[in-house]
């Protein structure tokens, strides 16, 4: 089924392209914060806290239901941030046509707007025209390729139609097709995924902006970029998220050079649950200044009780755990308490400047992995002089470990090995 989760992303991937050859070792993508001055979507008129506040508000609304060494010749891409979205540039077709699309770690399908479009949102780049690609092919409803993505139907012409919807009411409908998808490499060449399954969208709308042409799914399902490229390079990827306003970039890696190892690395099991799109972990509790608060032991909060997502800004917790964490943090704080100007977060304080270093020690306990957070993982500036706890109580089962908590950690997803690893890192120099 298509993901029903909303997306609120904070980085953009920009992939450069060159001449084709087979590459070993996977590929590496460069991560640049969406609101960094290096981002193509940087708005100099906004203050840093205004940019963060916008991302936090989107994240909370959606949750509520509204430097390593590259392997020689590894493919790579730049990720920059754009008001909370991850965007990626890839090339589709022969000859290759670049598209820019949001990456979605809680969705699988790769899709882009296509000609002729019955109902499309406005985008800056030209629409992909399948009639001009020598390698484009439609997929019949009876084809096994139609079943790679679960939410499909039969068109009047016997073709495979997909239907993707998102919790923020965005949607895409179109034909499942195959074509060459090209990704650049560090050797100056680019790798090609022949007969890659993707969606040609003819009816699309919602919250997509003009910078984007569609969505690149990085989830665990068979239709995702991770799964399709994993048949050659292995189903493993890693990233290191730099702080929001850094002028530097970090890397998204896929393949053999994505393993996370070395001093300080801790690992926790990736839990297999339905839908397999999502990356489930088991949250056991959180410590505040050494005092541990555990997750309630009901079946609802058992193994695989939290999803990790680099596309969601804040972390949402089970309400019973959140209540304890909020009280413990409040008891440890000395700054004057103030309301969040946007009304999005619950526990906010007058800050002592652009840096905020007086918060309590916070450690997140996953099964087998204790992750000690930095102050900027736990608190977020929502105004020039206001910082808030970057956790919210979850709505229903939407318990998500967001990207604020992941910044300056090297995080590796070993899907085949069934584990996720954390390693403290200076992502600016990674």
Asked whether residue 96 is domain-assigned, the answer is yes
**pLDDT higher than 80, residue 270:** yes
Domain boundary among 234, 257, 280: 257
> What pLDDT, on a 0 to 100 scale, did the predictor assign at position 69?
35
Whether residue 278 is found in the same domain as residue 190: no
Asked whether residue 208 is domain-assigned, the answer is yes
> What pLDDT, on a 0 to 100 scale, did the predictor assign at position 15?
39
Asked whether residue 230 is domain-assigned, the answer is yes
Q: Are residues 135 and 180 in contact, defined by beta-carbon separation less than 8 angstroms? A: yes
Domain boundary among 257, 276, 308: 257
Whether residue 248 is found in the same domain as residue 264: no
**pLDDT higher than 90, residue 308:** yes
**Which of 96-105, 148-157, 288-297, 403-412 shows the lowest mean pLDDT across its residues?**
96-105
> What pLDDT, on a 0 to 100 scale, did the predictor assign at position 30?
53
Whether residue 288 is found in the same domain as residue 387: yes
User: 156-184 pLDDT, tens per residue?
Assistant: 999 999 999 886 789 999 999 999 998 76
Segment 186-196 mean pLDDT: 78
Mean pLDDT of the chain: 81
Whether residue 157 is found in the same domain as residue 131: yes
**pLDDT higher than 80, residue 188:** no
Q: How far apart are CA 276 and CA 287, in angstroms?
A: 30
Whether residue 216 is found in the same domain as residue 315: no
Whether residue 398 is found in the same domain as residue 306: yes
> What pLDDT, on a 0 to 100 scale, did the predictor assign at position 324?
97
Q: How far apart are CA 399 and CA 420, in angstroms?
A: 17
Domain boundary among 257, 286, 319: 257
**pLDDT higher than 60, residue 32:** no
Residue 141 or residue 166, greater confidence: 141
> What pLDDT, on a 0 to 100 scale, did the predictor assign at position 44?
56
Asked whether residue 334 is domain-assigned, the answer is yes
Asked whether residue 5 is domain-assigned, the answer is no
Whether residue 224 is found in the same domain as residue 236: yes
Whether residue 57 is found in the same domain as residue 74: yes
What pTM does this model have?
0.80
> What pLDDT, on a 0 to 100 scale, did the predictor assign at position 299?
42
**Six-digit token pair at 339?**
């309301």
Whether residue 268 is found in the same domain as residue 151: no
Whether residue 218 is found in the same domain as residue 78: yes
Asked whether residue 4 is domain-assigned, the answer is no
Express as a percent the part of the chain with pLDDT over 90: 49
Q: How far apart are CA 325 and CA 329, in angstroms?
A: 6
Whether residue 97 is found in the same domain as residue 64: yes
Asked whether residue 124 is domain-assigned, the answer is yes
Residue 75 or residue 285, greater confidence: 285
User: 150-159 pLDDT, tens per residue?
Assistant: 899 999 999 9
> What pLDDT, on a 0 to 100 scale, did the predictor assign at position 4?
33
* Residues of the domain holding 320: 260-429
Asked whether residue 2 is domain-assigned, the answer is no
Whether residue 93 is found in the same domain as residue 217: yes
Segment 278-297 mean pLDDT: 94
Q: Which residues contact 321 (CB under 8 A, 6 or more apart)?
A: 285, 286, 293, 294, 295, 296
> What pLDDT, on a 0 to 100 scale, did the predictor assign at position 51?
52
Q: Which residues contact 398 (CB under 8 A, 6 or more apart)?
A: 5, 63, 65, 316
User: 52-104 pLDDT, tens per residue?
Assistant: 555 554 455 455 444 333 333 444 444 444 444 557 778 999 999 988 888 77
- What total number of domains does the chain contain? 2
Sign of the alpha-carbon dihedral angle for 51, 413, 219, 224 = positive
**Which of 14-18, 119-123, 322-326 shows the lowest mean pLDDT across its residues?**
14-18
Nearest Cα neighbor of 399 from 238, 279, 276, 267 is: 279
Residue 408 or residue 255, greater confidence: 408
**pLDDT higher than 60, residue 147:** yes
Sign of the alpha-carbon dihedral angle for 248, 251, 257, 259 = positive
> What pLDDT, on a 0 to 100 scale, did the predictor assign at position 183?
78
Task: Check which CATH number belongs to the domain holding 326 and give it.
Answer: 2.40.70.10
> What pLDDT, on a 0 to 100 scale, did the predictor assign at position 70?
38
The most confident of 2-6, 255-259, 280-284, by mean pLDDT: 280-284
Distances (CA, A) of 199 to 215, 286, 361: 9, 41, 45
**pLDDT higher than 50, residue 2:** no
């Amino acid at each position: 089924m298509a993901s029903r989760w909303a997306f609120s992303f904070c980085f953009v991937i920009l992939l450069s392209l060159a001449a084709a050859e087979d590459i070993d070792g996977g590929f590496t993508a460069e991560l640049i914060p969406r609101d960094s001055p290096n981002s193509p979507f940087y708005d100099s008129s906004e203050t840093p806290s205004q940019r963060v506040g916008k991302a936090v508000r989107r994240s909370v609304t959606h949750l509520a239901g509204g430097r390593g060494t590259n392997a020689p010749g590894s493919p790579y891409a730049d990720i920059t941030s754009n008001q909370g979205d991850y965007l990626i540039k890839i090339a589709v077709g022969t000859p290759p046509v670049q598209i820019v699309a949001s990456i979605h770690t809680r969705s699988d399908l790769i899709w882009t707007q296509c000609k002729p479009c019955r109902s499309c949102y406005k985008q800056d780049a030209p629409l992909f025209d399948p009639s001009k690609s020598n390698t484009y092919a439609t997929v019949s409803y009876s084809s096994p390729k139609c079943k790679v993505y679960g939410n499909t139907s039969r068109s009047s012409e016997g073709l495979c139609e997909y239907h993707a919807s998102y919790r923020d009411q965005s949607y895409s409908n179109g034909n499942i097709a195959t074509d060459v998808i090209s990704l650049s490499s560090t050797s100056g060449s680019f790798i090609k995924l022949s007969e890659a399954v993707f969606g040609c969208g003819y009816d699309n709308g919602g919250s997509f902006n003009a910078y984007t042409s569609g969505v690149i799914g990085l989830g665990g399902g068979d239709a995702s970029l991770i799964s399709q490229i994993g048949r050659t390079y292995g189903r493993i990827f890693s990233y290191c998220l730099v702080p929001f306003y850094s002028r530097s970039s970090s890397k998204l890696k896929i393949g053999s050079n994505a393993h996370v190892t070395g001093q300080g690395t801790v690992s926790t099991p990736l839990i297999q649950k339905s839908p397999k799109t999502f990356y489930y972990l088991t949250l056991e509790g959180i410590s505040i200044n050494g005092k541990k608060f555990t997750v309630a032991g009901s079946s609802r909060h058992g193994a695989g009780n939290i999803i990790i997502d680099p596309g969601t800004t804040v972390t949402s917790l089970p309400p019973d755990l959140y209540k304890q964490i909020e009280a413990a943090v409040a008891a440890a704080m000395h700054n004057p308490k103030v309301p969040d100007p946007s009304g999005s977060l619950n526990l906010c304080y007058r800050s002592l400047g652009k840096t905020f270093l007086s918060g309590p020690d916070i450690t997140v306990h996953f099964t087998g992995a204790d992750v000690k957070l930095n102050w900027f993982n736990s608190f977020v500036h929502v105004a020039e002089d206001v910082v808030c706890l970057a956790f919210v109580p979850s709505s229903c089962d939407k318990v998500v470990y967001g990207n604020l908590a992941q910044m300056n950690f090297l995080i590796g997803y070993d899907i085949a090995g069934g584990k996720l690893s954390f390693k403290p890192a200076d992502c600016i120099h990674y």
